[in-house]
Chain A
C-alpha cells in the first residue's frame, strides 16, 4: 500500500491506496465523488475527464499513486455559489440530454478555455474530439462552450 496526499477541489485527502487503483476509482469509490463518470474505461470516451494541475486528463488511464501531491479538479469543484459559466452554458444552450458525458465535457472545456479564451467553432470541435456524446449531436455542446467563452471573457472585462 502507498500513502498518497491529493488535493481535490481544494480539499487535501491523505489515503492508503494499492498501486493498481485507478485514479477514477479513487475519486469515485474512495472519495465518493461520483460526478466523474466511467464510460468506456479505455481512454476513448472522455466521461472520466478531470483536471490535474489544470490540464484535462482521462482518469481511467492514470493510477491514483501518480496523483500524489497533485491538485485535482472534478466537476464537483466547478460551481461556487452560482453555477460555473461552463455549467450555465450547458444549461442555457441545452448542451446535455442524458448528462452522462457532461462532467467530462465540462472539464475538457475548462482546460480549453484556460488556454484559448475565445475559441472558434472548429477549435472547440477539435478540443472535444476525445469526449463522446451519444445524445446531442454535439451542436449544443459547441454552443454551450461558446456561451461560456463569451460569459467568461465578459467577466474578465468587467473585473
Chain B
C-alpha cells in the first residue's frame, strides 16, 4: 500500500513547525511516531498534502517530575515510558497501560502525545490520562495554553486542538501518598485494541477513606469516557465490596459501546463492570498492603 503524494518538511524548531501549520492549515498533518498517521495514509483514509515531521525538533523527549507535576514531552516514545524507573515505580497505571499497547517495535516509535492527539477512543492512554486528571499543553502561534484532559476529547476523532496547534507536553499531578492505580484491558490477542479497557487511579486517606478516584474507559464509546458518576460514588467512602460493585455498575452505565467483531454492546458493557470491580479490588489491596 502506497500513500498519496505529499510535501514533506522536517522543521528543526517548534516555531518553524507552527508557522508551517499556519501556512497549510487543514492540509497539513503532524508526524511524530506516525503509527496512526502512516497506516491511515497507506489506506488512503488520510491524504494530507503536507506532512510536518516534528521528530527533528530537539528537547521534546523529556520525562521529568518537578514541583509536584510529572511533565512528559511530545516526543517521548512508549518504550521510553516503559523503561523509565520513575514511571514504573510511581505511575504504575501508565506503565501497565503502555506495555499493553501494540508491540515492542511499535512502542519504540509511537509517542504518548500522538496517542492522545489522534483522538481515537480505542487508544489506551486517553483513559489513563482521564483517570490521572492530566493537563495537556497546546502550543500555537500565540504561545501555549493548557487544556484539562476532561475538555480535550470532543467527539469521534475530534480533540480541542486547533488546526495551528501542536500538543507539546502532558502534565500529570504527582500522586498523593497512599495512592495507586492500574490499567486493565481485555483484548482478543496481544497488541490488539481493547474490547474494553479501564484505567483507575485511587487515593485513600486515614482509615482507608477514598479521597479521590479517577476512572477512564477505553473503546466503549465514540470517544474516551470519564466515568464521573462512578468516581463520585467512591469519594468519602471506606471502600467495601458493596461500594466497589456499585461503582462498577455506574462505570458500566457510563459506557456506550458499539457492537463489532470484538463483541456485542451488552457484552462490552458487562466487561466494563467486571474490569472496574476487578481494578478497584486490586488497587485498594495494593494501597493497603
Q: Which residues of A contact B (CB under 8 A)?
A: 2, 18-20, 22, 41-44, 46, 49, 55-58, 61-63, 65-66, 68, 108, 111-112, 115, 126-127, 129-131
Interface size class of B (residues with CB under 8 A): 20 to 34
Q: B118 at the A/B interface (Cβ < 8 Å)?
A: no
Q: B264 within 8 Å of A by Cβ?
A: no
Give the complex CA separation of A23 and B3 in angstroms: 13
Q: Is B108 an interface residue (CB 8 A)?
A: yes
Looking across the interface, which residue of chain A has its beta carbon closest to that of B41?
A20
Whole-angstrom distance between the alpha carbons of A126 and B108 in the complex? 14
A-B contact pairs, 13 of them (CB 8 A): A2-B8, A41-B1, A42-B1, A46-B105, A49-B105, A58-B105, A61-B38, A61-B39, A66-B31, A68-B10, A115-B83, A126-B104, A130-B102
Contact status of A55 and B8, CB under 8 A, knowing A22-B2, A62-B34: no
Q: Which listed residue, A57, A65, A112, touches B8 by the CB 8 Å rule? A: A65
A-B contacts, CB under 8 A, total:
83
Residues B206-258 near A (CB distance < 8 A): none
**Residue pair A63, B38 in contact (C-beta under 8 Å):** yes
Most buried by A among B35, B99, B105, B108: B105
The answer, yes or no, to whether B86 is at the interface (CB within 8 Å) is no
* B108 & A57 in contact (Cβ 8 Å cutoff): yes
Closest-CB distance, A73 to chain B (whole angstroms): 13
Q: Which of B3, B6, B39, B79 contacts A42 (CB 8 A)?
A: B39
A140 CA / B60 CA spacing, docked (Å)? 41
**How far apart are the CA atoms of A112 and B103 in the complex, in Å?**
12
Given A41-B42, A43-B35, A61-B35; A20-B3 close (CB under 8 Å):
yes
Residue B289 at the chain A interface, CB threshold 8 Å: no
Knowing A2-B8, A22-B2, A65-B10, the reply to whether A130 touches B106 (Cβ < 8 A) is yes
CA gap between A143 and B1 in the complex, in Å = 34
Q: Does B142 contact A (CB under 8 A)?
A: no
Report the separation of the CA atoms of residues A111 and B8 in the bound assembly, to the nearest whole angstrom. Answer: 29
List 14 additional contacts besides A56-B104, A61-B34, A111-B104; criterion CB under 8 Å. Answer: A2-B8, A19-B5, A20-B4, A42-B39, A43-B39, A56-B105, A57-B108, A63-B34, A63-B51, A66-B55, A111-B108, A112-B104, A115-B83, A131-B105
Q: Is there a chain A Cβ closer than 8 Å to B109's Cβ?
A: yes
Pick the contact of B53 from A41, A66, A127 — CB < 8 Å?
Answer: A66
Is A20 in contact with B2, judged by CB distance below 8 angstroms?
Answer: yes
Q: How far is the CA of A41 from the CA of B43 in the complex (A)?
A: 10
The answer to whether the Cβ of B7 comes within 8 Å of any Cβ in the partner chain is yes
B190 at the interface (CB under 8 A from A): yes
Distance from B57 Cβ to chain A, minimum over Cβ atoms (Å): 13
- Chain A residues contacting B141 (CB-CB under 8 Å) are none
Residues of A within 8 A of B155 (CB): none
| Also in contact, A18 and B5, with CB within 8 A (given A56-B104, A58-B106) | yes
Contact of A57 among B10, B31, B109, B190 (CB under 8 A): B109
Q: Mark B1-45, 1 if CB is under 8 A from A, else 0.
A: 111111110100000000000000000000100110011011000
Interchain CB contact under 8 A, B108 and A55:
yes
Partner of B5, one of A20, A66, A115: A20
